Structures are given as C-alpha cells and as structure tokens.
Amino acid sequence: MKRDILSSSIKHASFNIVFQIFFRCITFLMNAFVIRYINQDVIGVTNVRLLLLESTILFISREAFRRACLSKSLQHNWQQVTNLIWITVPLSIFLSIVLGYLWLYVLKQPSHEITQHYSVGVYAICASCVIEMFCEPLYLTAQVFLFLKLKIILDTIHVVVRTVTFTLLVIYTRNGAVIAFSVAQVLSVLVYTTGYYVYFWRYLKRHATVRKKGHGRHGDSTREKAEEAGKEKESFPIRSMADFFPRKCENNAFISYQMTVLTWSFFKQGIMKQILTEGERYIMTLFSVLSFYEQGVYDIVNNLGSLAARFIFRPIEEAAYFYFSQTVEREVPMKDQKKEDVDESAMVLKQLLSGLMSLGLVVVIFGQSYSKLLLLLYGGEKLTMYPGPLLMQTHCVSILLLAINGITECYAMATMTAIQIDRYNYFMILLSFAFLLISWGLTKLLGGVGFVLANCCNMTARIVHNSTFIHRRFSGTSYSPLKGLMPGLHFSAALVAAGMLVKFSEVYLFDSSKFIHFMIGVISFLFILSVWAYESRVLVVSALNKLKHLMKKKKR
C-alpha cells in the first residue's frame, strides 16, 4: 500500500492530541468534582492499588507483541502477525489468575472502614483486561493500515464512558466508590472492544458490496466509483471477520520465528520498563511505605503532574515510534540506508527533541510558581497543604526529563537490533534494582517527594544511555539530531526573565489577588511563546505550510 509514513504519523499525533485534550478536559473536571465526594483513602485503593493491577496485566500481556508486530509490519505475512497477536489472550488470562491471587491473598488489604468491596474491584480489573485483549488483532490492524480516527475516537469513548459512569455512580452512592469503579471499568472496556468489532464488520461489509459492484458492466459509473473508492485500501489483507482470528498459514509457519525472537526481546525489556514506569506504585503496594490516604494524595498530584505526558508526550511518542519503525531499518547502518529516509528521520528526531525540550522547560519554569494555584483550583484548600505544592513542583522537573526520555527511548526502541535490545534489557535490570533501592530510601526520608526524585534519577540514566545510542547511530554521518536538546539563546533568556517575574508574583501577589497572579503568568507565557516562535521560525513556517497542504488536500 502506497503511503506517506511521515504525513500519516503527524496526522495521527495531531488528531490524538486534539481529541485527548478535549475529552481529558472533561474527565479532568469530573475528577475534580469526584475528589470532593470521596476520601483520599479510597482514591489510594482504586487509583494506586487496582489501577496498578490493570497496568501490570495489560503492559506485560500486549506491549511486546505490539512493538514487534509494528516493526516493518507490511513486510510480514499478515496471518502470522494475527496468529502472534492472539497469544495476548491466554497470556492475559494467566496473568489475571496469578496477579489476581497475589492482590487478593498476599498483599495487605484495605480496612473495612475504607471499603468493603476491594475483592470486587480486583475481579473487575482482571475481567476487563482479558476482554480488552480480544480486540488486539483489530487494534493492530487499525494502527498499521492507518485507520487514524478510529483508534482515537474509540480510545476517547473508552475514557469518557469510564469517567462518566464512575462519576454518576459515585454521586448516587458515596459509600460504594469501589463498586462504581468496577462497573465503570468493565462497561467501558466492553464498549471499547465492541466498537472495534462493529466498525470492522461494517467496514468489510461495505467494501465487499463495493467489490461486487465493481464486477458489473464496464461502462457503469457505479463500477468506476467502486474502483476509485477501493484504491486506497486495495492491499488491505482482511476480507472477512474470520481473518482476524488465528488459522494455519499456507506454505509458512504458524508464527514467524523472526517476529517471535523480536517479541521475546521486547517482552524481557518490557518487564523492566514496567518496573521503572510504575516503580513507586509497586513500592507503595508491596512495602506499604505510605498509607492509603498518603497514596491518594500522591496519586492526585501525580495525575496533575502527568497531564502533559498523557495529553502531548504519549500521542507524539506513539506516532514517532510508528514513523521511525517504518522508516529506519534496524539491521542496516545509517550510511547504507536510503539517503532520503536518513535525511528525513534525522530532521524529525532533531525537531521533536527541540520542541519537547522547549515545552518541558516552560513547564519547569511555570510549575515552580503556579503549582499552588493549580492544586487550589483542582482539589480545594486541602491539596494546597504540605506536601502537595512541593510534590507538584518536583513533578514539573520530572516532566522535562519524561519528555526527553520518551523521544530518545522511542527512537532507540524503534531502531535497535534484537541483540542491542537484549543488551538494553541487562541495563534495564540493573537500573530497575537501583531505582527500587533509591525509591525506598528517598521515600523513607522525604515521603512522596522521594518517589518523584527517584523517577528523575531513573529517567536521567535512561536519557544518557539512549542519547549515547543515538550519537553512535549517527556517527560517521553529517547528522547531529541531539543538537535539538540545546535551547536557543533568546529562548533561554526569555525563560529566565519570565521565571523571575512569575516567582515574584507568587510571593507578593498570590495571597492578595490570585487573578492578577494568573494574568501575569498568561502574559509571560505569551512572551515566551513569541520568542520561541521567532527563534524557531523555520520549523513554524514548515508546520504552517504542512497544515495548509493538508487542509487543501482535505477540501479536494
């Protein structure tokens, strides 16, 4: 299928960001409302303990399979890809049984004063994870063959159904918050999975009708329309819903050996990455270093601090991984690859690093002076008490590191060979043990802030490792994409000036006039944005031209 990978990746990221921001704003407001209805102890149970169970099952079950199947996906036998991805279903069942038992009978249970429905929550999480795995073949198909809006819309519906259902049920029965959480979890996954099956059933039915009409009379205009409509998806390998399910491959093994090896490499690496990503929650859950109340406060602040990651960083990373995995060949040195692909991929990597570095620095500067105001608006006075603001300010530093780590690791994972991924796995193992040790020690000393600082240490180590890989990858060429991490002189000066102004405003104006303090921040942000746009005018002009081109193409 003839495709423009870069254009599709940009479109995917853009749609994802817009939809995520719009609907996450709705869920953000609903969560702010819910916080006033339930105790922080219950939030600690649902958002830390139960969502950690969901994250663990989903990540281990599918992440490695997704990454392996997306690597130069159109070069594989698609039936072998489908057969491989269905392994996620029995794997998720196995993990649900093992981890469900651990969560129910080994870990410390919340007291009856907090909730009496903890076991219901565990069963609901396990069931929802297994159900979600049944749409993995359809999800992967939508991702590879660029059904951009489908994935974004269904992801958004998933989040909205879960949040709206939970909010309405919590208002109806405050004492049954975990029951509300469980119902919302299962219902949203059922809607999400059903959405994929309904869409592709209708899509295949419609295109089957188009193909039948295409076999009519040569002069028939209906046939011409059918042929024109079928050009874009002419190489789409799915002809019926049965093709989404595993079956024998003619003249080929049931599963590709090469993809199996790559999946195993990603699987080993994924376990370490999951420990690093959710390390603080594992320590909270396994060692009980914080009470459920403290876990709830930490989770609220952590969710606010990670808004940028969910809104912007994650969609960009998903699109960037897809782009790099389709453009750069893992086993071939850069100097031996197509010059056009190398030029474009180096430019994209540099611009991504530059843009996210700039965004991260803005978050750090404004986060030091507006954390207290954000917590006040979100959760009321109780969140502005210590250690809420300090947690939020520290999170802002971690956001900068998260932005850089996301792109550098994304490029590394999309272009490493299987041997290099295995070597990276050993590094991740060492890093995981160091991270857990540092987290435990810093939490004993500093409470929740220690978790954030440990995450900063973890991401810094990963950034150094992945940046070294990128530098070596481009050695011997004229490209230096890592220069994107160096902010411009004018932009740096503007950041320092604005940072001093907004800190002065917080110290002297916050208590007397929060609105004036807020407006000073808005003006300072617009000033920084103007300086960045001037300094990055080449990138801005290029982006505007690309947008105009897409708009004209859409009108046609």
3-state SS of 83-144 is: HHHCCHHHHHHHHHHHHHHHHHHHCCCCCCCCCCCHHHHHHHHHHHHHHHHCCHHHHHHHHH
Better pLDDT: 390 or 207: 390
Q: Are 470 and 482 in contact (CB under 8 A)?
A: yes
% of residues, the chain, pLDDT over 90: 25
Prior bond to 333 cis, omega within 30?
Answer: no
* Rounded average pLDDT over 345-373: 90
Q: For position 218, what pLDDT does the model report?
A: 47
Q: H/E/C letters for each residue in 266-301?
A: HHHHHHHHHHHHCHHHHHHHHHCCCCHHHHHHHHHH
Q: Are 187 and 162 in contact (CB under 8 A)?
A: yes
Q: How far apart are CA 410 and CA 252, in angstroms?
A: 31
> What's the pLDDT band for 554 if we cut at 50, 70, 90?
low
% of residues, the chain, pLDDT over 70: 85
Largest CA distance in the chain: 80
Residue with tokens 């129910």: 104
Residue 439 has pLDDT above 90, yes or no: no
Q: How far apart are CA 24 and CA 158, in angstroms?
A: 11
**Which among 127, 136, 151 is positioned nearest to 54, based on CA atoms?**
127
Residue with tokens 């209805």: 37
Phi-psi region of 295 (alpha: psi -120 to 50; beta: other; left: phi over 0): alpha
pLDDT tens-digit series, residues 65-107:
888 887 655 556 778 888 889 999 999 999 999 999 999 998 8
Q: How far apart are CA 271 and CA 265, in angstroms?
A: 10
* Rounded average pLDDT over 220-239: 53
Q: For position 141, what pLDDT does the model report?
A: 87
Residue 552 has pLDDT above 70, yes or no: no
**Which among 548, 496, 489 is positioned nearest to 524, based on CA atoms?**
496
Q: For position 7, what pLDDT does the model report?
A: 65
> Vertex 247, ends 242 and 251: CA angle to 5°?
125
Q: For position 17, what pLDDT does the model report?
A: 63
Q: Which amino acid is at 182?
A: S
Containing H/E element for 153?
A: helix 148-172
Long-range contacts for 469-476 (Cβ within 8 Å, ≥24 apart)? 469/412, 469/416, 469/420, 470/349, 470/408, 470/411, 470/412, 473/334, 473/415, 474/334, 474/346, 476/333, 476/334, 476/335
pLDDT tens-digit series, residues 489-541:
999 999 999 999 999 999 888 888 889 999 999 999 999 999 988 888 777 77
* Rounded average pLDDT over 394-419: 89
pLDDT tens-digit series, residues 259-279:
888 888 888 777 777 877 777
* Rounded average pLDDT over 97-126: 90
Q: For position 210, what pLDDT does the model report?
A: 64
Which range of 108-112, 341-345, 438-442, 489-493 scores highest in mean pLDDT? It is 489-493
Residue 6 has pLDDT above 70, yes or no: no
Q: How far apart are CA 533 and CA 515, in angstroms?
A: 27
Average pLDDT, the chain: 82
Residue 196 has pLDDT above 60, yes or no: yes
Q: How far apart are CA 384 and CA 394, in angstroms?
A: 14
> What's the pLDDT band for 544 if we cut at 50, 70, 90?
confident
Residue 485 has pLDDT above 70, yes or no: yes
Q: How far apart are CA 34 and CA 305, in angstroms?
A: 18
In this predicted structure, which of 316-320, 382-386, 434-438 has the lowest mean pLDDT?
A: 382-386
Which range of 123-132, 286-295, 370-379 scores highest in mean pLDDT? It is 123-132
Cα–Cα distance list, 110 to 116, 425, 482 (Å): 8, 35, 47
> What's the pLDDT band for 326 if we cut at 50, 70, 90?
confident
Q: For position 21, what pLDDT does the model report?
A: 66
> What's the pLDDT band for 14 if we cut at 50, 70, 90?
low
Residue 229 has pLDDT above 70, yes or no: no
Q: How far apart are CA 13 and CA 313, in angstroms?
A: 10
Q: Determine if the pTM surpasses 0.85.
A: no
Q: Are 99 and 293 in contact (CB under 8 A)?
A: no
